[in-house]
Amino acid sequence: MTKKQASTDELISVILKGIDDVKGENIQLLDLREIDNTVCDYFVICSGNSNTQVNAISGAIHKVVSKELKDKPWHVEGTGNAEWVLMDYVNVVVHIFQKQVREYYDIESLWGDAKITQITPA
């Protein structure tokens, strides 16, 4: 019996639920599919107010995706200092920033050709 792979839309929906569960802020979805040579199809970007909240968002995403989709990230970086945590789910990469670090790196501008959707929490 093979494991059913969750669709990208399902994965994004569950990731957004994890972010919302711990009050992640300023959530944006960047659609990179129309851009040549991208590393994935989507970025999900959000902010937390402290390293504790950034780690809590990361943990909530990991937990809810694991529980609902039986999936786990291919790679996670940044949990040590929790200023910028990156969770790589292959087709979807999640960036969780502290506010000042997000402003400094401004990756939304680096991917200016992407279709950006502002996500309003439920």
Residue 1's pLDDT is 38
Which tens digit of pLDDT belongs to each residue from 95-107? 999 999 999 999 9
Is the per-residue pLDDT at 16 higher than 80?
A: yes
115's tokens = 């279709």
DSSP β-ladder status, 92-98 and 84-88: antiparallel
**Rounded mean pLDDT, 48-68:** 96
Domain-by-domain residue ranges, the chain?
A: 8-119
Residues 6+ apart with CB under 8 A from 27: 16, 19, 20, 44, 45, 46, 118, 119, 121
Residue 33's pLDDT is 93
Is the per-residue pLDDT at 5 higher than 60?
A: no
Terminal alpha carbon distance of the chain? 36
Alpha helices in 1-122 (DSSP H): 8-21, 51-69, 99-105, 107-110
Per CATH, which fold does 8-119 belong to?
Answer: Beta Polymerase; domain 2 (3.30.460)
**Rounded mean pLDDT, 22-41:** 93
Residue 2's pLDDT is 42
Is the per-residue pLDDT at 77 higher than 60?
A: yes
